Amino acid sequence: MIKRLVEKVQTLFTRRRRTHKPRQVPVADHGIARDRVPRSALRVCETLQKAGHHAFVVGGAVRDLLINVTPKDFDVATDATPEQIKPHFRRAIIIGRRFRLVHVMFGAETIEVSTYRAGASGEQAVDAHGRMLADNVFGNQAEDAARRDFTINALYYDPTTETVIDYHDGVKDIKRRRLRMIGDPEARYREDPVRMLRAVRIAAKLGFEIDEATRAPIARLAELLGNVPPARVFDEMLKLLTSGHSVACILRLRAEGLHHGLLPLLDVILEQPEGERFVMLALSRTDERVRAGKHIAVGFLFACLLWHEVLKRWNELQAAGSHRIPALDTAIDEVLERQTEKLAIQRRFVADMRDIWMMQPRFERRSGRAPYALLSHLRLRAGYDFLALRGAAEEAPAELVSWWHDFMHADENARAALLAGAPAPRQGEGTKRRRRRRPKPAGAPTATAGDAPAS
């Protein structure tokens, strides 16, 4: 009995040691060409290695290189602490509280350098739900690999030896197109609930299947996202919506049960049939722009996502007797207030959203000087693009969209002709109300041209 127990303990110990012994994947097997890594990331690795430290390109960049996708960012992991990293570079700053990192800047490029983190222990602060509040306990590379979220992100590329270091069969999972959590999925989601959103985003972006053990706890633990700071949720949602695969991400969120009652934004997108067509059209066009390498206006994107919530409330207020423009202003305030409880949309984006929304009724005013006043609006192009999107979704008249396109590109004579042929404004629009003169009191003197104003 004792002998069997000893053998069992030895077997478990051997297995544990094996999991910490990485596989060294040579360039002949992984096929990553060194010249695909930017000079800035190579320089960070070389500088730290010359100073006697370990330094590797890590995570998503290695994953993307392995599947022949150009990485958006290149991060570096090292055994040097932030205080040891910073002096080696002319432009470097230490950032973060929950995760202390170093940003090394080369012109417009920034390389994020992180120190190896230790595995979970009693030294890390957690909340009542198990969410990790601080993670600045440094460790070795094996511990760092174990605390990363998915196997395909726990890969280290040494540009000096051109070797990929793989602790958790991440290379094998990439070949199988499978997303698998490192460790116990439920415990890892409790440590950081945002990992559930990351699982959906990465799987949708790469076209991977989520491993069954990794997927199973998501629907049950979805409510934990309510404990995450709104700013972190906003950052992850922004990554999801600007990934170039936002439609696939949204559909996957619905499939995994992460939309209902969790984020008001997703409820709006997926639970309003009349708005789903508009939103999906906006997202598909955003995906096209991302894939084409074009600029994405975040304010415009969120204006699209929340438009039908604003529209619904706007119609309710008008039905209750509120005037059209004040009702829209009130509807915007109410919707934004509800959204910021869960999603910390930055003020600069909120300002863009408000301008885009408030321009929509102004496009309907096609008489007098109103169209000329709108031509000078700072966000005219964004407002018109939003109107055109409404037209494509059959929410705004195609004739109105066409008229404004012609008016924006016409000369003075053509604009005059367009104004002359425009439909008459709706009652109460396009004309200013004249102020009624208050009747003078009986016996009051009548002013003449020579009278001076009273002092």
- Burial per residue of 367-385, b for 16 or more beta-carbon CB atoms within 10 angstroms, e otherwise: eeebbeebeeeebbebbbb
For 187, residues 6+ apart whose C-beta sits below 8 A from its C-beta are: 130
Q: What angle do CA 258, 263, 269 make, to 5 degrees?
A: 85
For 84, residues 6+ apart whose C-beta sits below 8 A from its C-beta are: 53
Is 149 among the catalytic positions? yes
Is 75 among the catalytic positions? yes
For 253, residues 6+ apart whose C-beta sits below 8 A from its C-beta are: 197, 200, 259, 266, 270
- What secondary structure letter does DSSP report for 153? G
> Which residue among the candidates 64, 79, 144, 149 is catalytic per the annotation?
149
> Which residue among the candidates 29, 73, 127, 333 is catalytic per the annotation?
73
Helix (H, G, I), strand (E, B) or coil at 110: strand
Residue whose structure tokens are 């975040």? 298
Is 333 among the catalytic positions? no
> Which residue among the candidates 64, 75, 144, 211 is catalytic per the annotation?
75
Q: How far apart are CA 32 and CA 247, in angstroms?
A: 30
Q: Following DSSP, what letter does each residue of 193-232 receive, concatenated?
A: THHHHHHHHHHHHHTPEEPHHHHTTHHHHGGGGGGS-HHH
**Own/partner pairs for 65-74, CB < 8 Å, 24+ apart?**
65/32, 65/36, 65/37, 65/157, 66/30, 66/31, 66/32, 66/155, 66/164, 66/171, 66/174, 67/174, 67/206, 70/36, 73/112, 74/37, 74/38, 74/40, 74/41, 74/111
Active site residues: 73, 75, 149
